[in-house]
Structures are given as structure tokens and as C-alpha cells.
Amino acid sequence: MIYTCYEMARDCRSDLPEGWSYFISNYVPVVRKLVAHYGSGDEELVRRVLLGIRKPESNLFQNMEPVPERWFLAELRQAVMAQLVNTAPEIEVDLETVASALEPLTVVEKQAAWFETMRYSPADTGPMLRMAPATVGKIRDRAADLIRGKVDSWRRTLMADNGPALGREATAIHTDDCLSPKTFLDILDGRMTWSGRDQLERHVNSCWHCIDHFCRMVEIVEMLRRMPPLTEQEAEPYLQLLGVKSKKRPLWKRMTGQ
């Protein structure tokens, strides 16, 4: 029987060990990778993030509707980001200014620029957006020049420095017209292109919530590549941390080391 992501969320919501054990084995590797990318990467920070997710007030598992795993993982990313402490940048820029400056760019160009707020280099961004890193670099240079013309103070790292704050602003501007999980996944899986539907492209081109969410899902898909689940030995400390009773393996498995 296949244990789905939705069933895991349901069981975690009910505080059942089956759900939390599955979450720890399969999704703690994602948490660790996100913490390594956006935070200090130390184990104490991973522990703090997991304890935050475990709290009753955490809304990670509150969605009552079945959703694709990649959609859940995009929400897991947001739960991780909420636990990270970010210092205010020396020079601040808000999303309204960025949106106004980058209006001339296409949807894909805006995505290439937005990945800079997520601390990804052109070399990392290129494969995720299926374009040459040099092309990403040129797009970002143009984006930087456009933003420079809209602000009083500027530095080349302005987008990256303001990444966490810009991400929070983008998350908060969801509207009823924003894309559904199925549409995002159709685009990611190559079943639809941005230019395939004029109305869709027009919305996304002016919606930084959708641009941000798409980039987050692309990031998660990339992270999942070649990421094995934790072994029982690796999972045990996290089970203890979250107060989850581990299921005892059958005697024959323990005797054979399986």
C-alpha cells in the first residue's frame, strides 16, 4: 500500500507516530538542505526548525485537501524560512519598487532575476530554468540596471540582501487569480508553457506571488534529485527530539540487519 503525502499530513495533524515517522525519514533531508542553503547549516538550527514545525500552532499540516507532494514541499520550505532569523540589510528595497523596475522583463526573465533573491548563482539557476548560466547572468545585469534607476541607494547585491523580506512580501499578496497547484505542476512537467495560454502569462507576468511560488517549486524539485530518505539510525535522534515513538522492527529484520 502506498502511503501518500496527504495521509502523512493527516496523521501528523492527528499526532500519530506513523505520520511523524514518515515526515522525519523522508523530509528532514529537505529541511537540512534548506537550512544549509539559507541558514548557518548547523544541526542546532535544524533542530530548532523541526521543533517549530512540531508545535501545535504550526499550520504546515492543516490543509485538509489532498495536494501533490511538490506543493507540500513548497509549503515546507516556507515553514523552514519562517524559523530562520534574518538581519535587516544595510540598504532596503521593497517589492513594489522591484516590481516597477522589472516590469519590462518577460516572465522567465523575472524568474531568473528572482532566483537571485533566493541566493542562487547563475550557474545554479541556469539548469533549474533550462537556460545557459551566461544568459542568466545577462538577465540579472539588466535587472540590476533597471532597479538601480529606481532607488536612491544601490549595490549589486541588493536583491540577494533583501531576499527574505522580498519573499515574505511576495507570499502575502496571493489573490483568487493566482495559479492552482495543477497549473504549476503542468508547467514544471512540460505539459504547458507560459506562452501556451495568454491569460495565464498575463497574470503571472504581473504577479510576484506566482513568480515566487513557481521559483520555490522549481527549487524543491531540484533539491529532491538524488536525495535518499534517512536510515533508521539517522532518523532516531529526530524521533527522540520530537517525542515520536519509533516502531519496533520485526525480529527477523533486526536479526538480518534489514
Determine the Cα–Cα distance for residues 79 and 57; give it in Å rounded to an integer. Answer: 12
Instruction: Judge whether 12 lies within some domain.
Output: yes
Give the three cell numbers for residue 18.
506513523
Q: Are residues 163 and 182 in the same domain?
A: yes
113 close to 139: Cβ distance less than 8 angstroms:
yes
Determine the Cα–Cα distance for residues 114 and 102; give it in Å rounded to an integer. Answer: 10
Task: Tell me the residue range of the domain where 59 lies.
Answer: 5-86+228-246
Give the three cell numbers for residue 78.
516556507
Which amino acid belongs to residue 139? Answer: I
71: helix, coil or strand? helix
Cβ atoms within 10 Å of 156's Cβ, excluding its own: 11
**Phi/psi-derived region of residue 118, left when phi > 0, alpha when psi is between -120 and 50, beta in every other case:** alpha
Instruction: Judge whether 157 lies within some domain.
Output: yes
Determine the Cα–Cα distance for residues 97 and 100; give it in Å rounded to an integer. Answer: 5
Q: How confident is the model at residue 250 (pLDDT cuts 50, 70, 90)?
A: very low
Q: Are residues 113 and 211 in the same domain?
A: yes
Q: Does the global pTM surpass 0.95?
A: no
Q: Are residues 29 and 122 in the same domain?
A: no
| Model confidence pLDDT, tens digit, residues 150-208 | 999 999 999 999 999 999 999 999 888 888 877 878 888 877 766 666 677 788 889 99
**What local confidence, expressed as pLDDT, does residue 195 receive?**
63
Residue 58 has pLDDT above 90, yes or no: no
Q: Are residues 232 and 182 in the same domain?
A: no
Residue the block writes with cell 502523512: 8
Q: Are residues 146 and 43 in the same domain?
A: no
The arithmetic mean of pLDDT across residues 27-49, rounded, is 89
Q: Are residues 127 and 189 in the same domain?
A: yes
152 close to 104: Cβ distance less than 8 angstroms:
no
**SS percent in the chain: helix, strand, coil, step 5:** 65, 0, 35
- Total domains in the fold of the chain: 2
Q: Are residues 126 and 100 in the same domain?
A: yes
Q: Are residues 40 and 140 in the same domain?
A: no
Give the three cell numbers for residue 47.
533542530
181 close to 67: Cβ distance less than 8 angstroms:
yes
Instruction: Judge whether 255 lies within some domain.
Output: no
Instruction: Judge whether 257 lies within some domain.
Output: no
CA-nearest of 223, 188, 215, 225 to 118 is 215
Q: Are residues 117 and 201 in the same domain?
A: yes
Q: Are residues 215 and 99 in the same domain?
A: yes
**What local confidence, expressed as pLDDT, does residue 196 receive?**
60
